[in-house]
């Protein structure tokens, strides 16, 4: 089978002919191109892609409604305790987590392309929010939410979703694992009831260890118990009675029991919070409880108002105004990284639940961008889709993004009526919920397959992990990406060339050199040196097999030009076999008639035979 | 011809087996590897490579000596006026250029690997020196020379010479052209005799244009005349009488005349300086000349002393000490870029005169590093090989690097005896020499071939050119390199996949997808989406032709794993054709028995036939 034939497929032919257009044609084609682009953006198909609700709403039916209702309620049971807990990670008062849990869900119903994603606060984005906002308070977090939304929408409109392609699996794993460890570290303090500080992983642990003797028995007991109970409930939730995994063969009572067990596992956070709250309430009736409680959470819905572009605060009795530019300065470069990480988390979830269908990164960027944008008007901090809640959503049988409607309504109801009861929730219980959730984000399980598959990827993963632990997270992931890109550059700079000594039909020996990838600037000198070395050593005709050379640039053309001149001055034939037309035109731009290209073996044989005949004639003439 | 066969060459087999070593073996192998590396570094071959004089000195003979003597003297005639002029570009007193023109030449005799390179000040490096040192004075320039040498030697020892592979032809052209324009701009002031200032291209021109009405007639006449005369002399120098280019057929008197013409062209800078000096001396005898002269140049050799790690200077009558750290701070990041650019210039020259032989970048790094290191002990500023002087050297018939000996001696003699006469050289003449030299560094000639060859390269070239003009040169070239690397990343991220619908021997239709390059993280999701799209649309068996896939990583393995699972759940066969063993082992690390690989067409036919038979059976059973 001749691989060259494939490249005569219509697509590559079009590519080649496009390259041969003249400057004038290229300029002329810009006008229609822009028109076509604009027209494309306005088609009905594009509208359906950008507003996915149009696709599924017309066929919405009762089965869908039941599935979405059940899923929406179940997700709310997970979301409410998580929203409170993640506010703690983000370093803002607890109600802000709930503020970010309803409006976004409503927006996502319209624009979301993945039914399993419930938008809201997530552990990772909360941590990044904390690292970006620091102790500047919720106004900064809301402003960050606004810019996250705006940047995500803009990136979506400009088609920059492809940027997350440059975050490889190993970098993503290293980053997530480090983030999980940092989150756990931040919660150990609350579990033990001590006053630790420090803004990096190492400093926080140092501070924890130096204060560990002050651990409060009440908090520690509550916290550790919660973690153990949650992990047990998680295991119990996966159990089944009767014939396993085959619901069709289960009896009705077995099905009911199994559903109950599943609900017990799925709603474990809500159950734990309620139980701990009751225990705490009992204690509080007879004096202060032996553990810290989260205290007052303001009741009612947040005011609908513009995000704070500058605000005033009271410091030491005087009113200080914080202008917009100072806020931007406080936020720093995290404002660019956070939207991308939020997208990364979201796309990872979409992929996990897409069943092999392509995920539209652009649409997801626009969707969660709009959610964050809207949320910034109700004083929320940035959010995204969260893996744990997506799993709950999926296993609850969600059918469309409409599930978010019920989740949002329950959050609103709880904000209106249930906040007085939140007072009694123990801090250690919330910390326990976080730890029991994020402990599974430490991706130990990828180490073994990565080692077996490609060891260099494990190195990248490990370096990213370390960088994220000891440096700010956004710097850590950039370092990881940078190291990973070096591998690509090395790939481009050092192609492999296989060398073979072959004979033509009449016995003329020649050297066949086969580079295995494209010729572009970082590699061309290396290739030239290799070709020169081998050809000088052997002194026979050299054939370069260009089957695998899919691209070349001007630097490659100059080097090929020099090579052909060198060979010509040595009177050693240099032939190019199977050169693609697109590559050939790049080479010919520099030296039109300099080199000999052929496309089948007969031509090669003829050329070599001609050469050896003429050489023999010359030898006869000179003797 | 089956391309797969090439990859069974010994080299690739070794690569594959290496990858299969276990962790323990990998660790064990580090010890012997280090030993082997150390032993390699001490072999006789390596000694001859690192000290090239050992190779050529034993066979040195009279013919060589005559060639080197003539070349050495001719180069000196070019070097001395250039050294004075380039000091002006670097912003240091004129004698410093001569200080950097002898010791380096002596060192290069021993360590240089390219006979045509005469080390000394160059226009480009002088400009970079000025941009790095600013107006901090010659002590800073000497310290910069020291660090340039040290960094070059260290980079050579650590084998970092490959870094210049990442400067492509277009970036190099854009950079050189911009540098040439900046140099010309800096000299226009002296040619016109005006007082212009400004540290960027635009500001300097703005300043020149606003002061142009103050142009001095004397300076302008002298400067413009010099430029025209030099360009004319350059043209005359290439002329020949008698049969052109065939020395063997020329008569003796024709040969003598031709040699004289050649010498007239080659020594044009020296001739011009002498003539202008005499004119100026005549004027000076009868009062102040109508143009500026360069004035006193201190006589005598520079003192041999340590480079200034901190120094004292007199400012407004008081002695101010400038400590080492302040000097380093003044130099800034240029300290890293300059050594690399110096190497770039040097290697470009070596390549131009290597006649197709490979150039040893590492050895050149060490050689010019040692030259700069030594030069910093005689108060020189950084230097490198210069293209113009190399051309003179080559056409003067240099045989070995020993030509530098005579050049160095002449520079020493002129420092000892001729400096009093330098007083009379007009400033405008030196400026004219520079302009007439660097005007040919503006590489307009590359635009046409670059346009014909690859238009994207022209864009890179142009962007680099603009960036270097409006920003500091070192930032400009970094931006150019960065843009160029984005092309590589795009290459890696967006492979082309050709799609064909084929039939097996018994008529089973299948889809053949052929990606044209390696599968690594930025591209895998793109490839997955394409494969999924095509296979969902067609619903027939899919064969992925992996002939061109020379590498893969863990992220690719995860995606292939997901793809195989997706296809399995759809009961659509997915087959891999011609997968290289090294890539196969990467995929298998994640999912050992998940996917089907085959290596010839018979296997493919059998698999497809089996599938269509079993499908037919299923259809019969279900009806």
Please check whether residue B56 lies inside any domain of the structure: no
Do the strands B119-120 and B384-385 form a parallel or antiparallel pair, or are they unpaired? antiparallel
Residue numbers in A near B547 (CB within 8 A): 3, 547-548
A453 touches chain B (CB under 8 A): yes
Residues 572-591 of A with CB under 8 A from B: 585-590
Shared-domain flag, residues A189 and A259: yes
Q: Does the CB of A165 have a partner CB in chain B at under 8 Å? A: yes
Q: Is the pLDDT of residue A168 over 50?
A: yes
Question: Which residue, among B442, B449, B374, B444, has the nearest Cα to B404 in the 3D structure?
Answer: B374
pLDDT, tens digit, for every residue of A339-371? 888 888 888 888 777 766 777 888 888 999 999
Q: Are A174 and A461 in contact (CB under 8 A)?
A: yes
Q: Are A269 and A82 a contacting pair, CB within 8 Å?
A: yes
Q: Are residues B239 and B358 in the same domain?
A: yes
Instruction: Judge contact between B534 and B511, C-beta under 8 A.
Output: yes
B516 and B473 in a single domain? The answer is no
Task: State whether A433 and A534 are in the same domain.
Answer: no
Residue B258 lies in a domain: yes
Q: What are the counts of helices (DSSP H) followed by strands (DSSP E) for chain A? A: 28, 9
Q: In which band, very low, low, confident or very high, does the pLDDT at A14 lie, cut at 50, 70 and 90? A: very low
- Sort strands A311-315 and A318-322 into parallel, antiparallel or unpaired: antiparallel
Claim to verify: residue B514 and residue B415 sit in the same structural domain = no
A589–B3 CB contact, under 8 Å: no
pLDDT value of position A134: 83
What is the separation, in whole angstroms, between the first and last Cα of chain B?
46
Q: Is A345 helix (H, G, I), strand (E, B) or coil?
A: helix
Burial bucket for residue A1 (CB in 10 Å: 0-12, 13-18, 19+)? middle
For A539, residues 6+ apart whose C-beta sits below 8 A from its C-beta are A572
Q: Domain boundary at B459, B484, B509, which?
A: B484
Same domain as B499, residue B413: no
Q: From the centroid of its chain, how far is CA B455?
A: 21
pLDDT digit string, tens, across residues A368-392: 999 999 999 999 999 998 877 888 8
Residue B458 lies in a domain: yes
The DSSP secondary-structure symbol of A357 reads P
Whether residue B172 is found in the same domain as residue B69? yes
Place of tokens 């492509």: B168
Q: What is the ipTM of this complex?
A: 0.78
Using a CB-CB cut-off of 8 Å, the residues of chain A touching B528 are 358
Q: B3 lies in a domain?
A: no
Closest by CA to B450, choosing from A448, A484, A552, A538, is A552
**Residue A147 in this model has a pLDDT that exceeds 90:** yes
Q: CA angle, corner B207, sides to B201 and B213, nearest 5?
A: 135
Of the pLDDT bands very low, low, confident and very high (cuts 50, 70, 90), residue A21 is: very low
Least confident of A25-34, A184-193, A597-606: A25-34
- If you measure CA to CA, which chain A residue comes closest to B162? A522
Do A355 and B569 make contact, defined as CB atoms within 8 angstroms?
yes
Are the C-beta atoms of residues B574 and B566 closer than 8 Å to each other? no
**Which residues lie below 8 Å from residue A589, measured CB to CB, with a gap of 6+?**
A554, A557, B449, B450, B451, B452, B453, B454
| Residue A592 confidence class, pLDDT cut points 50, 70, 90 | low
Exposed/middle/buried for A207, CB within 10 Å: 0-12, 13-18, 19+? middle
Domain boundary among B442, B462, B484: B484
CB atoms under 10 Å from CB of B226, counted, come to 25
- A222, A142: one domain: yes
B360 and chain A in contact, CB less than 8 A: no
Give the whole-angstrom CA distance, residue A102 versus residue A76: 10
Q: Are B400 and B360 contacting, i.e. CB atoms less than 8 angstroms apart?
A: no
Please give the torsion angle defined by the CA atoms of residues B456, B461, B463 and B468, in that order, rounded to the nearest 10 degrees: 170
Output b/e per residue, B549-581; b: 16+ Cβ within 10 A.
bbbbbbbbbbbbbbbbbbbeeeebbbbbbbbbb
Residue A623's pLDDT is 63
Radius of gyration for the alpha carbons in chain A, expressed in angstroms and rounded:
32
Residues whose CB falls within 8 Å of the CB of residue A608, separated by 6 or more in sequence, listed in order: A504, A506, A508, A510, A541, A573
Distance between CA atoms of residues A570 and A572, nearest Å: 5
Q: Locate all alpha helices (DSSP H) within B499-550, ordered by sequence.
A: 521-538
**Contacts with A500 from chain B: Cβ below 8 Å:** 6, 9
Separation CA A545–CA B95 (nearest Å): 55
Contact A559, A528 (CB under 8 A): yes
User: Mean pLDDT throughout A496-510?
Assistant: 85
Residue A500 CB partners (closer than 8 Å, separation 6+): A511, A512, A514, B6, B9
Q: Does B13 touch chain A (CB under 8 A)?
A: no
Both A517 and A436 in a single domain?
A: no
**Distance, CA of B139 to CA of B312 (rounded, Å):** 10
B595 within domain boundaries: yes
In a domain, B50, yes or no: no
Question: Mapped to the 3 state alphabet, what secondary structure does A525-558 carry?
Answer: HHHHHHHHHHHHHHCCCEEEECCCCCCECHHHHH
Interchain proximity A454–B520, CB inside 8 Å: no
Give the count of alpha carbons within 13 A of B97, CB side only. 29
Q: Among A440, A493, A441, A484, which residue's Cα sits nearest to residue A462?
A: A484
| Rounded CA Rg of chain B | 32
Classify residue A303 by its DSSP letter.
P
A244 touches B at CB < 8 Å? no
Mean pLDDT, rounded, for A577-581? 85
**Domain CATH for A557:** 3.30.750.24
Residues of A in contact with B515 (CB under 8 A): none
Mapped onto helix, strand or coil, the DSSP state of residue B501 is: strand
Residue A346 and residue A224 in one domain:
yes
Instruction: Grade residue A108 by pLDDT with cuts at 50, 70 and 90.
Output: very high
Residues of A in contact with B601 (CB under 8 A): 1
B451 touches chain A (CB under 8 A): yes
Residues 6+ apart with CB under 8 A from B571: none
Interacting residues of A610 by C-beta distance below 8 A, sequence separation 6+: none
Strand partners, A545: A577
Return the ∠ at Cα B210 (arms to B228 and B214), rounded to 5°: 60
Q: In terms of DSSP bridges, do strands B509-515 and B542-545 run parallel, antiparallel, or are they unpaired?
A: parallel
Selecting from A15, A452, A557 the residue whose C-beta is nearest the C-beta of B453 gives A557
Q: Residue A58 has which token pair? A: 């017309």
On chain B, the residues whose CB falls within 8 A of the CB of A165 are 493, 521-523, 525-526
Does one domain contain both B441 and B505? no
Confidence class of residue A577 from pLDDT cuts 50, 70 and 90?
Answer: confident
| Residue with more model confidence, B376 or A503 | B376
DSSP reduced 3-state for B455: helix
Angle value at C-alpha B364, between B362 and B368, nearest 5 degrees: 125
Residue B609 included in any domain: yes
Same domain, B169 and B232: yes
**Angle at the Cα of B42 (from B38 to B48), degrees rounded to 5?**
140
B514–A contact, CB cutoff 8 A:
yes
Q: Which residue has the higher pLDDT, A14 or B211?
A: B211
Regions in chain B scoring below 50 on pLDDT:
1-23, 26-27
Q: What is the pLDDT of residue A5?
A: 32
Whether the CB-CB separation of A429 and A223 falls below 8 Å is answered with yes
Give me the pLDDT at residue A143, please: 93
- CB–CB of B208/B189 below 8 Å? yes
Yes or no: say if B492 and A518 are a contact pair by the CB < 8 Å rule: no
Please name the residues in contact with B398: beta carbons below 8 A apart, sequence gap of 6 or more: B67, B68, B71, B72, B115, B116
Task: Please list every residue in chain A whose beta carbon sits closer than 8 Å to the beta carbon of residue B447.
Answer: none
Query: H or E element: which one contains A598?
Result: strand A596-598
* Chain B 482-511, residues with CB within 8 Å of chain A CB atoms: 484-485, 487-489, 491-493, 496, 498-500
Q: Is A288 on the interface with B (CB under 8 A)?
A: no
Which range marks the domain in which residue A532 is found?
Answer: 494-622
Cα B172 versus chain centre, distance? 7
- B205: how many CB neighbours lie within 10 A of its CB? 15
Looking at A404, A424, A441, the residue that finishes a domain is A441
B312: exposed, middle or buried (Cβ count in 10 Å: 0-12, 13-18, 19+): exposed
Please count the structural domains in chain B. Answer: 2
Residue A167, both tokens: 């975050």
Taking the CA atoms of B404, B409, B414 and B416 in sequence, report the sign of the dihedral they define.
positive
- Cβ atoms A68, A403 nearer than 8 A: yes
pTM: 0.77
Of A49, A30, A31, nearest in space to A41 by CA: A49
Q: Does residue B293 fall inside a structural domain?
A: yes
């Amino acid at each position: 089978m001749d691989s060259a034939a494939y490249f005569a497929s219509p697509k590559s032919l079009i590519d080649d002919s496009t390259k041969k257009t003249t400057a004038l044609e290229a300029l002329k084609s810009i006008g229609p191109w822009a028109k076509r682009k604009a027209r494309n953006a306005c088609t009905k198909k594009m509208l359906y892609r950008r507003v996915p609700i149009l696709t599924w709403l017309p066929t919405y039916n009762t089965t869908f409604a039941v599935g979405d209702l059940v899923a929406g309620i179940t997700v709310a049971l997970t979301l409410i305790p998580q929203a409170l807990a993640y506010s703690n990670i983000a370093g803002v008062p607890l109600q802000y987590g709930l503020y970010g849990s309803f409006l976004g869900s409503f927006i996502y119903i319209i624009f979301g392309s993945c039914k399993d994603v419930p938008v809201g606060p997530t552990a990772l984005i909360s941590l990044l929010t904390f690292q970006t906002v620091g102790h500047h308070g919720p106004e900064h977090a809301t402003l960050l939410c606004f810019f996250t939304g705006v940047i995500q929408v803009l990136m979506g409109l400009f088609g920059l979703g492809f940027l997350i392609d440059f975050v490889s699996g190993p970098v993503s794993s290293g980053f997530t694992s480090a983030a999980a460890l940092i989150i756990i570290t931040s919660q150990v303090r609350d579990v033990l009831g001590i006053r630790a500080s420090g803004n990096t992983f190492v400093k926080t642990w140092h501070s924890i260890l130096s204060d560990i003797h002050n651990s409060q028995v009440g908090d520690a007991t509550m916290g550790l118990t919660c973690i153990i109970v949650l992990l047990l409930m998680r295991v119990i939730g996966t159990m089944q009675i009767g014939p396993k995994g085959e619901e069709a063969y289960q009896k009705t009572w077995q099905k009911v029991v199994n559903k109950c067990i599943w609900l017990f596992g799925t709603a474990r956070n809500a159950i734990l919070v309620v139980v701990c709250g009751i225990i705490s309430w009992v204690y509080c009736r007879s004096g202060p409880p032996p553990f810290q409680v989260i205290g007052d959470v303001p009741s009612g819905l947040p005011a609908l108002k513009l995000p704070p572009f500058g605000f005033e605060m009271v410091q030491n009795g005087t009113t200080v105004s914080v202008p917009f530019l100072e806020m931007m300065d406080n936020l720093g470069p995290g404002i660019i990284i956070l939207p991308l990480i939020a997208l990364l988390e979201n796309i990872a979830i979409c992929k996990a639940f897409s069943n092999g269908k392509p995920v539209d990164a652009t649409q997801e960027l626009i969707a969660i961008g709009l959610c964050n944008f809207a949320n910034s008007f109700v004083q929320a901090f940035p959010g995204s889709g969260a893996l744990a809640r997506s799993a709950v959503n999926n296993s609850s049988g969600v059918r469309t993004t409409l599930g978010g409607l019920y989740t949002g309504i329950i959050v609103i109801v709880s904000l209106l009526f249930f906040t007085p009861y939140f007072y009694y929730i123990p801090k250690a219980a919330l910390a326990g919920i976080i730890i029991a959730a994020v402990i599974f984000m430490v991706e130990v399980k990828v180490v073994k397959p990565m080692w077996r598959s490609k060891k260099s990827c494990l190195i990248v993963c490990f370096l990213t992990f370390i960088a994220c632990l000891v440096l700010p997270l956004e710097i850590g992931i950039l370092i990881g990406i940078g190291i990973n890109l070096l591998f690509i550059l090395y790939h481009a700079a050092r192609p492999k060339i296989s060398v073979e000594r072959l004979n033509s039909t009449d016995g003329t020996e020649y050297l066949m050199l086969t580079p295995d990838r494209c010729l572009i600037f970082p590699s061309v000198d290396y290739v030239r040196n290799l070709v020169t070395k081998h050809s000088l050593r052997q002194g026979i005709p050299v054939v370069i097999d260009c089957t695998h050379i899919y691209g070349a640039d001007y630097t490659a053309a100059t080097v090929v030009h020099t090579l052909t001149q060198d060979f010509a001055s040595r009177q050693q034939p240099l032939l190019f076999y199977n050169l693609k037309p697109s590559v050939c035109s790049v080479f010919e731009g520099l030296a039109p008639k300099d080199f000999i290209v052929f496309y089948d073996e007969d031509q090669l044989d003829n050329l070599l035979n001609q050469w050896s005949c003429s050489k023999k004639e010359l030898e006869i003439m000179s003797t």
